[in-house]
Amino acid sequence: MATANNATSTGNSARSTESSFFTICAVIMALLIVAGFSVNLAMGRSTFAVPPVFHFHAFVFFGWVALYLAQSFSIARGNIGLHRKLGKFAYAFVPVMVVLGTVLSLTSLRRTGSPFFFDQREFLFANIMMLWLFGILAITALRMPRSTGWHPRLMLTGMAILVGPGFGRLLPMPYMIPYAFLISEMLVLVFPIAGMIADRRRTGRVHPAWAWGIGAILLTQLVADVLAFSDWGGAVTQAVVAGTPGAQRPMEPFLPPGF
């Protein structure tokens, strides 16, 4: 009886430690996203005087951040019922986010040519493809039973992708040309890698979901870059910005005069 009680206690402790890890990651990711956009606004690098799609995008994406935090805390507190109820909202959020993010990427590219420290081709292809990968990971996670361990790990990996823009707004990106976009995207891997380390320390093995998630991010970035920097990718990018202010800047990343 004592052995059974000890085993149960050990199992509960392991689950509690795992939930704490995902909750801490959720808080850190949320803070990075909020900090990135807040710093940008405080330094005058962004403004509220933008087309409505920008405001709608911000409302939906920050709503997702709040939902992700709520889901993490509900599990940490053992409120499975609330977690499942809130999870139904995720099915509506994800497709709206993917469509909105795609529209915003195209709008930004045509309106300003994208941030000057990003290559327009890479911004077009990698930005949109990573966003769609987030959608795939999130929906896949929602379809996976939490008991298998796939659900929280794929969801965290998908959420990490959304932290890329947060990193991009906090780092000195102009000094990272021509690898600014790649650096901001690859930094998101710190979260699934931390998950692998946490798994190893907690159970002695690494859940395969991490390998699938990291592999998907690396493969998506590779395919996006191959497409972006091909002749076809350049032609598509030119067609997207043709006749708009975005066509007035170089396609390659550059430093503005007097920077």
pLDDT at position 4: 41
186's tokens = 């690859």
Residue 130 CA to residue 57 CA, distance in Å, equals 16
Q: pLDDT by residue (tens digit) across 82-134?
A: 888 888 899 999 999 999 999 999 999 999 999 999 999 999 999 999 999 99
Structure confidence at residue 39 (pLDDT): 80
pLDDT of residue 13: 55
Listed as ranges, residues in the chain with pLDDT below 50 are 1-12
pTM: 0.89
